[in-house]
Structure 1
Amino acid sequence: MKTCEVFLLLVFSTSALSDTGGLLRSCKIKDIECLSKSTEQFLEKTCKGIPEADIRAIDPLVIPALDYAAEDIGGVSLHFTNINISGLKNQKISDFQMDKDKMSVVLKLNVDLNIVSELDVKLTEHSKIFSGTYKAKATTLATANYNYDLRNNDKGVRYFEVLPETITCSIVQKPEVSLNDELVQALNKDEHIKEGIVKYEKKRDEYKERAICKIVQKAYETVIHNIRAAAKFLPAEDFFQDI
């Protein structure tokens, strides 16, 4: 680590972190209650972001753009822009499994989300675009699987290195999804999307959940990024007592 980087981390840790009383509480790996409280503490202190530590704001979390193709309902694709997500600061640990031999983690987080986005509904075969707004409320369960490594710095202090993650999503309860009236009317009037609407209606809940989970998976890339960023300057023992 370069001298300037060490200096910045020292300044950051002795000012911002000491003022907040620490981002985490150290827990035993199987102590879910402690881990839950530590998560709450971390989210409370970081949800607005800490740029000095490369910790990004998550509540609200804004995703600039995201595409979702629903080819099985008539070549329809959804282009979301300016996706605003609120609720991530209140997420709860549903389960946490850490295998010290395999150096792997399974982290499950339950959260109630509100999503507001601009939306373009594209008919690729007919070069048509219908624009409007999209809103959703959903209780989701996001599961992050990742491996980690432990590395010592030149002073013998151990730090986690969080390796690339895989994120999956499921919807816990029936979501609420709505489009603005003008968009709905335009879609209902268009002759080229009628077949797609019929297919959509047959699996309405499934399609709603697919789109929401696409957004949730993208959102949790930022959540795991923040864990990865914190692991770069917080010693492993700040996370776990029995690592």
Structure 2
Amino acid sequence: MTALYIFLVLMVSQCVFSETGKLHLPSEPCEVSDIDCVSKATQAFFYNTSDGIPEYDIKKLDPIVIPSLEKTIEKLNLNVHYKNVKVTGFKNQQITHFELERETKAVQFKTKVNFTAEGELTIELPKISKSFAGTITIDASAEGGAAYSYTVKTDDKGVEHYEAGPETLSCTVLGEPTIELSSDLKAALEKDADVQKLLADYTKHAPESNKVTVCNIVKTVYAVSIHNIRAAAKVLPKSAYFKNV
């Protein structure tokens, strides 16, 4: 029995080490208060799993394609449609804040990210039945955040795992994003008299409108980041993450 017990312990340990290596977590768990360790572990996880790991249900993070995003500027009766937006840069996000409360089982973290988004763009003026299509490139910096609670679940093999609850996402745009429209779209907008009438009003709303677009992108990609954290937690035991939690 003693030999069998030792053999089983070694087998489990090897499996845990193997999965930890595949998911690029440190060989030793972090102290919750060790922000340097937590930062390095989280950043390494996002970077090294950014291509996705289908066997663990970890989705591709960078580049990531957002099929569609919608935005309405009601004051201008303007609808904006984004399609097939390719976003790059999220594998390099850097932790700026991390907090785990043992008593309330609440987690909060924030990361800074510099990213580029490229996709198709359609600007629609529904009241006069006009639309203009082309492409758009966005370069932006933002701080994204996620807050969620966690529980500890024991699987059918008696191994404890973290399980994250529903997240609340936040976003703060850092600086002014750079927006570039394709030359054909710019030319069409410049030539249209109705668009030119709206130009002065649009200029007033553009900074806030651009921030809305940036944060829509950030929150969409952040949701995938949290999904991947959840997926990894289903694979790795609780003990692989933190000490004394």
What TM-score, normalized to structure 2? Answer: 0.87
Q: Which amino acid aligns with 1:158?
A: E
- 1:207 pairs with 191, 206, 209, which one? 209
Separation of aligned partners in 2, 1:159 and 1:88 = 26
Q: How do 1:184-203 residues align onto structure 2 when only pairs under 5 Å count?
A: 184-203=186-205
SS in 1 for 2:95: strand
Q: Which runs of 5+ in 1 are unaligned?
A: 1-9
- 1:147 pairs with 142, 146, 149, which one? 149
Please name the residue that 1:39 is paired with.
42
Q: Which amino acid aligns with 1:199?
A: D
SS in 2 for 1:188: helix
Deviations 1:58-92 (A, max 9, x none): 110111111112222x1111111111111111101
SS in 1 for 2:199: helix
> How far did 1:20 drift?
4.0
Q: How do 1:33-182 residues align onto structure 2 when only pairs under 5 Å count?
A: 33-72=36-75, 74-182=76-184
Q: Which amino acid aligns with 1:46?
A: T
Separation of aligned partners in 1, 2:130 and 2:201 = 19
Separation of aligned partners in 2, 1:212 and 1:89 = 17
Q: How do 1:3-14 residues align onto structure 2 when only pairs under 5 Å count?
A: 14=15
Separation of aligned partners in 2, 1:20 and 1:235 = 13
Q: Is the 8 A contact 2:119 2:137 kept in 1?
A: yes
Structure 1 residues 29 and 121, CA gap change in structure 2 (3 angstroms): same
Q: Percent identity?
A: 35
Structure 1 residues 63 and 22, CA gap change in structure 2 (3 angstroms): closer
Number of matched pairs = 231
> How far did 1:204 drift?
2.7
Q: Which runs of 5+ in 2 are unaligned?
A: 1-10
Structure 1 residues 242 and 197, CA gap change in structure 2 (3 angstroms): farther
Q: Is the 8 A contact 2:20 2:236 kept in 1?
A: no
Q: Is the 8 A contact 1:200 1:207 kept in 2?
A: no
Answer with 1 or 2: which has the greater Rg.
2
Separation of aligned partners in 2, 1:60 and 1:180 = 21
> How far did 1:229 drift?
0.7
Q: Which amino acid aligns with 1:62?
A: V
Separation of aligned partners in 1, 2:160 and 2:146 = 23
> How far did 1:34 drift?
0.3
SS in 1 for 2:52: coil
Please name the residue that 1:5 is paired with.
none
Moved more, 130-139 or 16-25: 16-25
What TM-score, normalized to structure 1? Answer: 0.88
Q: Is the 8 A contact 1:135 1:177 kept in 2?
A: yes
Q: Is the 8 A contact 1:68 1:211 kept in 2?
A: yes
Structure 1 residues 196 and 216, CA gap change in structure 2 (3 angstroms): farther
